[in-house]
Amino acid sequence: MPEEPISTVPATSERREPTASEVDGARSHPVVLEARGLVKHYRQRQARQRGHRRAAAVVHAAEDVDLELRAGRVAALVGESGSGKSTVARLLAHLVRPTSGEIILDGRPAVRMGSREYRRMVQMVFQDPFSSLNPVHSVAYHLERPLKIHHRATKSEMPDAVARLLARVQLGPASQYVGKLPHELSGGQRQRVAIARALAAGPRVLLADEPISMLDVSIRLGILNLLAELRDEEGLAILYVTHDIASARYFADTMTVMYAGRMVETGPSRAVADESAHPYTQLLLRAAPDPDRAQPVHLGATGGPPSLVHPPAGCRFHPRCPAAMDRCRREVPPFFQVAPGHAAACWLHAAEGVAVSVSPTATGRPDPSPA
Ligand code: SF4
C-alpha cells in the first residue's frame, strides 16, 4: 500500500486567504452528514504474561473529531499513515462503531436509522479497485446488485439503468463494458466501475478513501475530475481521504489535517495549504514533491508518528515539533481561529488567536464560542 506522499498536483506557492464571501458561500451549502466529537478506541486482545493476564492495550485511533460534509462540496481529510483519517471514514460509513460521539445524517442521529437506509445515502469508494470488485462477476452484476437491493430499477429497466450509471462515470458505450470481468479492465476503469456501484444506491454522500493512491499517476487526475463533476453537477457531498496534501488543495473545497488521531488544522483548502498555521501541516507541505523546487528541503522535524497506545501528553506533535514549548508537553491545545473559517490546534496562536470550537468547521467559519 503506497503511503509515500506521491503528489498528483504540485503544491503552489501562490498565497491567498479566502474572502468572506467564499467562506459564506461555503456555508450556504446544506450540511448532509455531520460528525460530532467522534472517538474510536480499539481494545487490543488481552495477552498472558507469565501466567498473568495483562491489561488490554487501548489504541486511540481517533479522538474528538468534528466534521461537516455539505451538499456540492468536497471536504478533504489529510494525514500520514496512522493519523486516523481512514478510521474516521470507516466510522462515517458505519463500518465500525464509534466509542463515543455522534453521527448526524440529514439532521437525524444515525443510530436511529436502519443500516440499509443509512448505507443507501452514504456510500464508500475504497482505495483498491482491484480487491473491492469481485473477480468472478461481471461489471453488469456489480451494478445490478445495488440497483436491486435499493429498489432503484425493475428487471425491465435494468439494462438502461446500468447504461446510465456507466455513462455517469464516463464509461461508454455500455455494451463494451457490461460483460467484462474486473481483470479485463484497467485500474482507472475499475475505479470508475466502483464509483458507479456506489452511485447505484442513489447516495447523497460519497466517502472516498484514498481513491487514487493505487492508480497510475497518469490516470489520477481523471478520477479526481470525475468526482469533481459529481460534486458540481449532482450536488454530492464528498469526503476525500488522502495523504497527498497537494491533491487535496487542488480538488477539495475544505481541508482538515489529522495527526496521531486528532484534528490539528481545518479550513478552506487553499488557506490551509497556502497559509498553513500548524507546524505539522507545514511539514506535510514541505514533504510534498514540487517540480519547481530545485533543492531537497530540510524538514525541520525528526522521528515518526507516536504510538497510539501511549500517545504523548499535551500536543501529540510535540516530540517532533521544532517549535515545541513547555506548555505543549502538558496541555492539549484547543483550536485557535487564525483567519475566517480557518483554525489550528497549536499554542503558537494562543496570543493572537481566539480559542474556538471547530464543531461547525470543515467547510465554514469556526464557531467563536470559547473552546
Ligand atoms: Fe508544536 Fe506546541 Fe504547536 Fe504542538 S502546540 S504544534 S508542539 S508549537
Q: What is the pLDDT along the chain (371 residues), one digit of tens a residue?
A: 333 333 333 333 333 444 555 555 555 799 999 999 999 999 876 655 556 666 778 999 999 999 999 999 999 999 988 899 999 999 999 999 999 999 999 999 998 888 889 999 999 999 887 888 999 999 999 999 999 999 999 999 999 999 999 999 999 899 999 999 999 999 999 999 999 999 999 999 999 999 998 888 888 999 999 999 999 999 999 999 999 999 999 999 999 999 999 999 999 999 999 999 999 999 888 877 665 655 555 555 667 778 899 999 999 999 999 999 999 999 999 999 999 999 999 999 998 766 666 643 333 334 333 33
Nearest atom of ligand 1 to the alpha carbon of 324: 7
- How far apart are alpha carbons 62 and 98 in whole angstroms? 9
Cell 480559542 found at: 355
**Å from CA of 319 to ligand 1 middle:** 9
Which cell goes with 31? 450540511
State the distance from the centre of ligand 1 to the C-alpha of 280, rounded, in angstroms. Answer: 8
pLDDT in the model for residue 367:
37
Do 335 and 347 contact (CB within 8 A), yes or no? no
pLDDT at 252: 96
DSSP string, 126-190: -S-HHHHS-TTS-HHHHHHHHHHHTT---TTTHHHHHHHHHHHTT---GGGTTT--GGGS-HHHH
Q: Whose CA is nearest to atom 5 of ligand 1?
A: 346
Paired residues of 122 in beta bridges: 205
Question: Which pLDDT score, from 0 to 100, does residue 56 have?
Answer: 76
Ligand 1 atom nearest 322 alpha carbon: 1
Give the distance (Å) from ligand 1 centre to CA of residue 333: 8
Q: What's the 332 CA to ligand 1 centre distance in angstroms?
A: 9
The confidence score (pLDDT) of residue 12 equals 37
| Protein residues with CB under 6 Å of any ligand 1 atom | 278-279, 315, 317-318, 321, 323-325, 328, 333, 346-348
How high is the pLDDT of residue 306?
86
pTM: predicted TM-score of the whole model, two decimal places: 0.85
Backbone angles phi, psi at 18, to 5 degrees: -70, 145
